[in-house]
Structure 1
Amino acid sequence: MSQAQDTETVQEDGIINSVSGPVVTAADLDARMNDVVYVGDEGLMGEVIEIEGNLTTIQVYEETSGVGPGEPVENTGEPLSVDLGPGMLDSIYDGVQRPLDVLEQKMGSAFLDRGVDAPGIDLEKTWEFTPEVSEGETVEPGDVVGTVPETVTIEHKVMVPPDYEGGEVVSVEEGSFSVEETVVELSTGEEISMHQEWPVREARPAGEKMTPTDPLVTGQRIQDGLFPLAKGGTAAIPGPFGSGKTVTQQQLAKWSDADIVVYIGCGERGNEMTEVIEDFPELPDPQTGNPLMARTCLIANTSNMPVAARESCIYTGITIAEYYRDMGYDVALMADSTSRWAEAMREISSRLEEMPGEEGYPAYLAASLSEFYERAGLFQLFNGGVGSISVVGAVSPPGGDFSEPVTQNTLRIVKTFWALDSDLAEKRHFPSINWNESYSLYSQQLDPWYRENVAQDYPEVRQWAVDVLDEEAELQEIVQLVGKDALPEDQQLTLEVSRYIREAWLQQDAFNDTDTYCEPEKTYRMLQAIKTFNDEAFNALEAGVPVEEISNIDAAPQLNRMGVAEEWNEFIDDLENSIEEQIRELY
């Protein structure tokens, strides 16, 4: 090494000045904001978060015990980035995109030593590249130049990186290549490989953001039926401990009709993440029959992992989602949970001695949440295609208090709110989504889709169910005071109908092979059957039939079996006919 090079290296590197948990201060470090650095003798990965004079503050993504002043800090000069390319699906990463299975093989143990690292995708594995451009064609950033069969389910599209200039194709290769080998050369001298890098805190550019008009079909009746989420929309699932947030998120990841699922376990209990990691590889994809992991990327940053990596895992996940969106896929991102992410921000902020906001959270909490959710959407892509990211964030308010800052700031941003209720969970009513507190602002813009693809009167039937549930909530207050028998007969009948809506329609068994997924047509037919009972019952009531006789017909309890009926279409047809016959026989 020459003297000049040696001097340059000394200028770039610094030494540790102080250590406070995951926050390390270094002196004499030539760095910029968000640069990735390697801290201490073990080379722990960290990121520059503050620069003041000669002192640089770093958040370290690994445990810092044993690290002390005087140890070196090496700067990479690059921001925290993710490796993008074929091989990300069917992978399990930590918060900074280190592949956990690769590290486990490297270490020979599930417990990782500090300072170990590996690229996010296998740089040596070869992939079969099929060009989609020919020499002489002009390509621009975002254009697809070829395809690779990434999994049995997903075709990976190799694109011109968004930070390239583009130009005329000078040469193009076909065959097996590693991700770093050049497959397309442009007249500008730019070389395109299957591997891209992108800084996680910067949104990947896309074209125009459009208004979503298609629902993300989740297969869960209360969500698809009452509070739908659009493809490209945002949703929050707040709920206290034990109310079913994680199971609800996992159901969405398993059954939603997205092309790609990115599941982020952010600060949740290790046993819950273990369940996901063990279950997903064995689950068949309901859309293709192939393994579900063939279209899934898991990011696991459990509560016992370093807190700083938890702060970055949300950005890692959304950047991977944006990459697949740019290929024209519909991506569903599950963040479980954003409260743990906010707590990580709070811990880092307090160690930086920043001015605290409400409940000790940093003053920029709302801005950070907005920045994250704003990266969702339905986009007109630069290459002429359309891609979407739907973001579902779980929120874990302490004690189930929805007035705390993370829940309130999330509420201001998202358009779908699925409020989980511990009282419903205690009654074994699952999913325990409270229909009186939840809402969706997408309903009206999705109505045309439901009219065209499910039933013309779908929005009206849904509104009828909402009205009945609203009326029941008002009547329950009276029932608490004077009892059900004191109500007029028409109101008693309304309570009976609402009971079937709650028990037969809104309840759904995630562990029953038939009931775990409910297509929109079945969701509609089940509700229509309950409405048939309602209409016939009120006709009978007007004709003078006592409400007890109407409630006691043999067919009524069969409404509770609709969800688990395998031949549901025939079952509901027969049930509706039986209800009509049995009620009409009463008058």
Structure 2
Amino acid sequence: MSQATQTDAEQDGVIESVSGPVVTATDLAAKMNDVVYVGDEGLMGEVIEIEGNITTIQVYEETSDVAPGEPVENTGEPLSVDLGPGMLDSIYDGVQRPLDVLEEQMGAFLDRGVDAPGIDLEKEWGFEPTVSAGDEVASGDVVGVVEETVQIDHKVLVPPGYEGGTVEEAREGAFTVDEAVVTLENGEEIAMRQEWPVREPRPTAEKETPTTPLVSGQRILDGLFPIAKGGTAAIPGPFGSGKTVTQHQLAKWADADIVVYVGCGERGNEMTEVIEDFPELEDPITGNPLMSRTCLIANTSNMPVAARESCVYTGITIAEYYRDMGYDVALMADSTSRWAEAMREISSRLEEMPGEEGYPAYLAARLSEFYERAGKFQNINGTEGSISVIGAVSPPGGDFSEPVTQNTLRIVKTFWALDADLAERRHFPSINWNESYSLYQDQLDPWFKDNVADDWPERRQWAVDTLDEENELQEIVQLVGKDALPEDQQLTLEVARYLREAYLQQNAFHDVDTYCEPEKTYRMLGAIKTFNDEAFEALEAGVPVEEIQDIDAAPRLNRMGTAEDYHEFIDELESNIAAQLEEKY
């Protein structure tokens, strides 16, 4: 027996017990987080606990028919993803197996124990070097460019951990991802493909304070509760309140260079809709297919629970790779509650001490580790990149006091609370403006002042104050009716109604209203404030509130969102409001 074969035999173990996705093995020489192949079918798994001679493994596939006595083979490597050209316009499962490739091999129903590389190892890509012989390169530096899609240039990097040095040869032409395209004098060879362990963040030089908004085109988000490029946000909400549609809108319209969409434990029909719709959608900014800058990771609720636990790490690692190229990446995780439920199931099978509602005691730590990988970074190659993470949370029964929502709230700085009552009233996006908040406002206000208008913060604050006042007045209205209020308070309720109906509501399915640029968001809010200011002047001049409410121009505020030439529409509307109210006194 050769030394290599003998070593392999020493590493192999034997299954002792099987409990759902959790398998224990004996006599397995392994380290924590090593990838192993379990049973006669070679099911992929990961070591999650070692105690004496007993090794516990979470298996990423269905374990029915796996029995004690079957072999376990250790690879000696942690769970890693393949990084290189070809990830965009791809659809993966939770451990980066390309679903379209597997479908070609075996049809719609996947067999167990099958595997495929995350990127095509046979395809040749046109590599154009950006360095030449004699140049000095270090870890993380860009050595060449590949046209990955019509929209994105894939920058080939010196892998982290490489010593670097003087370039001996830089080859130009068509190569597979495993072929060396740059050779250094010290013997190191750089290919287009890298591997990186998913649970380890990729290195950066410095984490910076984000000062640029991730413009989403959704008025309530950009106008009242903005998120920064490199920021974190949570979208909690009960079933049917619009979490997935909100994330779809962000994936389509947010001004990120790259979108990584992780469907974590969601219903299969929702992911089917994403998989069918996204390839047909057009990027509204460039006109290219939306998938040319999108990577989808689909791990639906009927897929193995252990793979669900790893899918968010797969997504964030891919996002970090594109961030290292200097791109702004937006990662959508839908939903982190299903991820936490996967952790809870595995934790219970390990017989760990349960925390609140049965979740593991390390729930908060795992959530923090995930969201901490977001941010605006100075990369080790001198470029800047960012990862914005927007995580949907699905609290059972819409109870925001449950552990996943509460622990997420302690971490993220933007909170978009979805409301089932608003959804039932067909108010979309159904974000409750009284419960939502953003802690990025102060650091983003200078950008809005420079790029939109000097009085952006004041106008936003006026809207928030008006909505707060309406919320207080509604309690009185419930008791005594609207007519019992003083006229100025009745007028405040009317202004707040236009804020809710004309400004906060937005039709995702209307060609014009689906996206609202910051300038339009500002102008629309200004038109409602014009009505407010003119109406209160008329009220002070003695005009009855009923006559103010009856002017013809006011209802046209509700049509601002769908106006194609909004500048002309709003200019005319503001002048009509002023003229019609001045006629009253």
Q: When the two structures are superposed, what TM-score results if normalisation uses the length of structure 1?
A: 0.99
Tell me what 1:39 maps to.
38
Give, in angstroms, the shift of residue 9 of structure 1.
2.1
Measure, in 2, the Cα distance between the counterparts of 1:129 and 1:366.
Answer: 43
Measure, in 1, the Cα distance between the counterparts of 2:337 and 2:330.
Answer: 19
After superposing on structure 2, the runs of 4+ consecutive aligned residues of structure 1 that deviate more than 6 Å are: none
In the alignment, structure 1 residue 60 sits paired with structure 2 residue 59: yes
Output aligned runs, 1:254-269, within 5 Å. 254-269=252-267
What SS does structure 2 have at the residue aligned with 1:128? strand
What SS does structure 1 have at the residue aligned with 2:508? coil
Measure, in 1, the Cα distance between the counterparts of 2:287 and 2:315.
Answer: 25
What SS does structure 1 have at the residue aligned with 2:271? helix
Tell me what 2:194 maps to.
196
Which of 341, 348, 351 is 2:349 aligned to? 351
Q: Which amino acid aligns with 1:245?
A: K
TM-superposition CA deviations, 1:101-138 (whole Å, max 9, x none): 0000011x111000111000001100000100111111
Output aligned runs, 1:61-76, within 5 Å. 61-76=60-75
Give, in angstroms, the shift of residue 382 of structure 1.
1.2
Output aligned runs, 1:207-356, within 5 Å. 207-356=205-354
Tell me what 1:159 maps to.
157
Measure, in 1, the Cα distance between the counterparts of 2:134 and 2:394.
Answer: 55
Measure, in 2, the Cα distance between the counterparts of 1:576 and 1:160.
Answer: 57
Q: Which consecutive residues of structure 1, in runs of 5 or more, have no partner in the other structure? A: none
Which of 530, 533, 536 is 1:535 aligned to? 533
Measure, in 2, the Cα distance between the counterparts of 1:219 and 1:165.
Answer: 44
Measure, in 1, the Cα distance between the counterparts of 2:268 and 2:287.
Answer: 28
What SS does structure 2 have at the residue aligned with 1:237? strand
Give, in angstroms, the shift of residue 76 of structure 1.
0.6
Measure, in 2, the Cα distance between the counterparts of 1:471 and 1:328.
Answer: 44
Measure, in 2, the Cα distance between the counterparts of 1:583 and 1:434.
Answer: 32
Q: Which amino acid aligns with 1:127?
A: W
Q: Which amino acid aligns with 1:62?
A: E
Q: Which amino acid aligns with 2:88?
A: L
Measure, in 1, the Cα distance between the counterparts of 2:231 and 2:4.
Answer: 51
In the alignment, structure 1 residue 372 sits paired with structure 2 residue 333: no
Tell me what 2:94 maps to.
95
RMSD: 0.6
Measure, in 2, the Cα distance between the counterparts of 1:515 and 1:163.
Answer: 48
Measure, in 2, the Cα distance between the counterparts of 1:545 and 1:272.
Answer: 53
What SS does structure 1 have at the residue aligned with 2:516? coil
In the alignment, structure 1 residue 502 sits paired with structure 2 residue 504: no
Q: Which amino acid aligns with 1:96?
A: V
Measure, in 2, the Cα distance between the counterparts of 1:215 and 1:4.
Answer: 58
Give, in angstroms, the shift of residue 4 of structure 1.
3.5
Tell me what 1:396 maps to.
394
CA 133–52 in structure 1, closer or farther in 2 if over 3 Å, else same: same
Q: Which amino acid aligns with 1:368?
A: R
Give, in angstroms, the shift of residue 569 of structure 1.
1.4
Measure, in 2, the Cα distance between the counterparts of 1:287 and 1:70.
Answer: 57
Measure, in 2, the Cα distance between the counterparts of 1:475 and 1:425.
Answer: 22
Give, in angstroms, the shift of residue 302 of structure 1.
0.3
Measure, in 2, the Cα distance between the counterparts of 1:33 and 1:212.
Answer: 35
Measure, in 2, the Cα distance between the counterparts of 1:47 and 1:166.
Answer: 32
Give, in angstroms, the shift of residue 190 of structure 1.
1.1
Measure, in 2, the Cα distance between the counterparts of 1:274 and 1:254.
Answer: 17
TM-superposition CA deviations, 1:125-154 (whole Å, max 9, x none): 000001001111111111100000000000
Give, in angstroms, the shift of residue 56 of structure 1.
0.6
Q: Which consecutive residues of structure 2, in runs of 5 or more, have no partner in the other structure? A: none
Give, in angstroms, the shift of residue 7 of structure 1.
2.5
Tell me what 1:179 maps to.
177
What SS does structure 1 have at the residue aligned with 2:506? coil
Identical-pair percentage: 82
Tell me what 1:407 maps to.
405
Q: Which amino acid aligns with 1:32?
A: K
Measure, in 1, the Cα distance between the counterparts of 2:12 and 2:284.
Answer: 52
Tell me what 1:6 maps to.
5
Q: Which amino acid aligns with 2:65?
A: G
Tell me what 1:550 maps to.
548
Measure, in 2, the Cα distance between the counterparts of 1:552 and 1:217.
Answer: 36
Measure, in 1, the Cα distance between the counterparts of 2:91 and 2:285.
Answer: 22
What SS does structure 2 have at the residue aligned with 1:32? coil
In the alignment, structure 1 residue 148 sits paired with structure 2 residue 167: no
Measure, in 1, the Cα distance between the counterparts of 2:414 and 2:376.
Answer: 16
Q: Which amino acid aligns with 2:43?
A: L
Measure, in 2, the Cα distance between the counterparts of 1:220 and 1:162.
Answer: 38
Q: Which amino acid aligns with 1:503?
A: E
Number of residue-to-residue matches in the alignment: 585
Q: Which amino acid aligns with 2:376?
A: L
TM-superposition CA deviations, 1:45-91 (whole Å, max 9, x none): 00000011111100000000000011111111100000000000000
Measure, in 2, the Cα distance between the counterparts of 1:561 and 1:4.
Answer: 77
Output aligned runs, 1:445-464, within 5 Å. 445-464=443-462
Measure, in 1, the Cα distance between the counterparts of 2:502 and 2:177.
Answer: 51
Tell me what 1:517 maps to.
515
Give, in angstroms, the shift of residue 3 of structure 1.
4.5
Give, in angstroms, the shift of residue 5 of structure 1.
3.6
Tell me what 1:430 maps to.
428
In the alignment, structure 1 residue 21 sits paired with structure 2 residue 20: yes
Measure, in 1, the Cα distance between the counterparts of 2:579 and 2:362.
Answer: 63
Give, in angstroms, the shift of residue 286 of structure 1.
1.1
Measure, in 1, the Cα distance between the counterparts of 2:178 and 2:4.
Answer: 28
Tell me what 2:481 maps to.
483
Q: When the two structures are superposed, what TM-score results if normalisation uses the length of structure 2?
A: 0.99
Give, in angstroms, the shift of residue 340 of structure 1.
0.2
Measure, in 1, the Cα distance between the counterparts of 2:3 and 2:207.
Answer: 50
Measure, in 2, the Cα distance between the counterparts of 1:313 and 1:9.
Answer: 29
Give, in angstroms, the shift of residue 462 of structure 1.
0.5
What SS does structure 2 have at the residue aligned with 1:288? coil
Measure, in 2, the Cα distance between the counterparts of 1:451 and 1:111.
Answer: 54
